[in-house]
Amino acid sequence: MDVAAVSTALSQAKTKEAAGIMVLDKVIDIAVQNANAINKLISDSMDHVPESHLGKYVDQYA
């Protein structure tokens, strides 16, 4: 292998790695947004529960 081929292969490997990191970063951002949306939905739904103490416990011996 000559120097030009090694240089090209190294450049391609670095580009692949950078693209993979960018995709992973985007996936992490989307996961954080989804988690925040789920947390907001849960907290909003808990505000509207009139009797939040009901339904928490199940009598297994009845």
DSSP-assigned states of every residue in 2-55:
-HHHHHHHHHHHHHHHHHHHHHHHHHHHHHHHHHHHHHHHHHHHHHT-S-TTTT
Residue 7 lies in a domain: yes
> Domain containing 8: what range?
1-35
Residue 31 lies in a domain: yes
Residue 53 lies in a domain: no
Tokens encoding 39: 């947390």
pLDDT in the model for residue 52: 65
Q: Write the DSSP symbol of residue 56.
A: S
Indicate the number of domains in the chain. 1
Q: What is the pLDDT of residues 1-59, one digit of tens each?
A: 799 999 999 999 999 999 999 999 999 999 999 999 999 988 887 766 667 667 677 77
Residue 14 lies in a domain: yes
Q: What is the pLDDT of residues 38-54, one digit of tens each?
A: 999 888 877 666 676 67
Tokens encoding 18: 């950078």
In terms of residues, how long is the chain?
Answer: 62
Residue 25 lies in a domain: yes
